[in-house]
Amino acid sequence: MTVPRVKLGIAGLGRGFMLLLPTLAAHPGIRLVAAADPRAEARHQFATDFSTTSYSEVADLCADPEVEAIYIATPHEFHREHVELAAAHGKHVLVEKPMALSLDDCQAMIDAMHRAGRWLVVGHSHSFDAPYLRTREILDSHDFGAVRMINALNFTDFLYRPRRPEELDTAQGGGVVFSQAAHQVDIVRLLGGGRVRSVRAATGSWDPSRPTEGAYSALLTFDNGTFANMTYSGFAHFDSDELCGWSGELGQPRDLREYGNARAKLARIRNAEEEATLKNTRTYGAGLSLANSSLEGVTHNHFGFVVVSCDGADLRPMPQGVQVYADTRRYLEPLPPPTIPRREVLDELIGAIRHDRRPIHSGEWGLATMEVCLAILESARHDREIMLTRQVSVPEVSAL
């Protein structure tokens, strides 16, 4: 029997939507039926691309009876309001990471969705990527014993991409901890078992013209004895894609001639208004459309260099599969190239809605990830270890 496609509405046609657009358009289990965005040009482009309804207000999208589920890709500070609106109208929700900017907001979102009896999935973080899910499956097989240590690092040009002023203000959800640690923490929690006991961290804010955290390092200890070292830098010097065969975060081949482009482009900007204008050129409706989106990624998405150390092997998730360094041999557990990159996030949403299958990335999971992210900031601010209380275990991936 054919499973009906999920009728999805989009709240926010910005950069997050643009990154997921090719997946949304190609996935056989999704039908885009409506969208909401305050920008007239974005609404017009959506209507042109998909011949569907568009609204200027998220409330009107939530009230649309044709919409079954809503992908909330609005700015971080609006996530709670928009999830509660969706819940009030009985919609399932996929909400962008970071889930929210406070644990109180995260819990309010969870409570609203529970009252509505609808599914909440938090994504699309890189912990949905096939290499990390396959690594978790290998860990669940117990072929290599217990997980003892995880090392994860990622160096990018994140801080020097065009930003709106609020994206450089930590209090408004700016900086790498809210936007990038949500990816890395999700991955490390997935591989480490989920329940982080404590966080000890330092952050770096070293450029007065970009006055927010551009880097962090953190030591996470887990209830099961595992520990993890995480490092992230967005200062646009070393690029950890060099350690991933120059396969980019989205699976695209990297052009080494582009080194330094982010800083060079930013140097030509004279003020915050010009920078915001430049950022808008990378958004849907401002020159970008379905025609500009692409499924060109030739390898799986990734989030930098990761090694999981077990009793009997080290496992390295890579864009092409999982490299296994066992006691007596070294080999690759290959993954077929993705036909629809990032489809895993939509598979998880559809599995919940159509098959009543509890997602890995539930609201409770998203709250636990945000507890770690907030602990990174608190630990760095007060120079002390932070103990955690809101963590949850990861279910067995192979059972989903």
What pLDDT, on the 0 to 100 scale, is given for residue 399? 46
Task: Convert the pLDDT of each residue in 49-84 to its tens digit.
Answer: 999 999 999 999 999 999 999 999 999 999 999 999
Task: Convert the pLDDT of each residue in 240-254 to its tens digit.
Answer: 999 999 999 999 999
H or E element that contains 374: helix 363-382
Task: Convert the pLDDT of each residue in 326-370 to its tens digit.
Answer: 999 999 999 999 999 899 999 999 999 999 999 999 999 999 999
Alpha-carbon distance values, 373 to 65, 200, 225 (Å): 36, 11, 20
**Percent of the chain whose predicted confidence (pLDDT) is above 70:** 98
Q: Are 88 and 62 a contacting pair, CB within 8 Å? A: yes
Residue 400, pLDDT above cutoff 50: no
Helix (H, G, I), strand (E, B) or coil at 57: coil
Both tokens of 331, joined, read 């080999």
H or E element that contains 191: helix 182-192
**Percent of the chain whose predicted confidence (pLDDT) is above 90:** 88
Between 280 and 95, where is the model more confident?
A: 95
Which pLDDT band, with edges at 50, 70 and 90, does 382 fall under? very high
Helix (H, G, I), strand (E, B) or coil at 242: helix
Residue 135, pLDDT above cutoff 80: yes
Task: Convert the pLDDT of each residue in 281-321 to its tens digit.
Answer: 778 888 889 988 877 667 999 999 999 999 999 999 999 99
The CATH architecture one would assign to domain 6-126+341-362 is 3-Layer(aba) Sandwich (3.40)
pTM: 0.95
What pLDDT, on the 0 to 100 scale, is given for residue 1? 65
Task: Convert the pLDDT of each residue in 20-55 to its tens digit.
Answer: 999 999 999 999 999 999 999 999 999 999 999 999
Q: Are 106 and 367 a contacting pair, CB within 8 Å? A: yes
The full DSSP string for 328-356 is: S-EEEEE-PPPSSTTHHHHHHHHHHHHH-
Task: Convert the pLDDT of each residue in 265-290 to its tens digit.
Answer: 999 998 988 888 888 777 888 888 99
What pLDDT, on the 0 to 100 scale, is given for residue 279? 82
Q: Are 198 and 387 a contacting pair, CB within 8 Å? A: yes
What pLDDT, on the 0 to 100 scale, is given for residue 362? 97
Task: Convert the pLDDT of each residue in 203-245 to its tens digit.
Answer: 999 999 999 999 999 999 999 999 999 999 999 999 999 999 9
What pLDDT, on the 0 to 100 scale, is given for residue 398? 57
What pLDDT, on the 0 to 100 scale, is given for residue 297? 67
Give the start-to-end residue ranges of the domains of the chain: 6-126+341-362, 129-337+370-399
Task: Convert the pLDDT of each residue in 145-195 to its tens digit.
Answer: 999 999 999 999 999 999 989 999 999 999 999 999 999 999 999 999 999
CATH topology of domain 129-337+370-399: Dihydrodipicolinate Reductase; domain 2 (3.30.360)
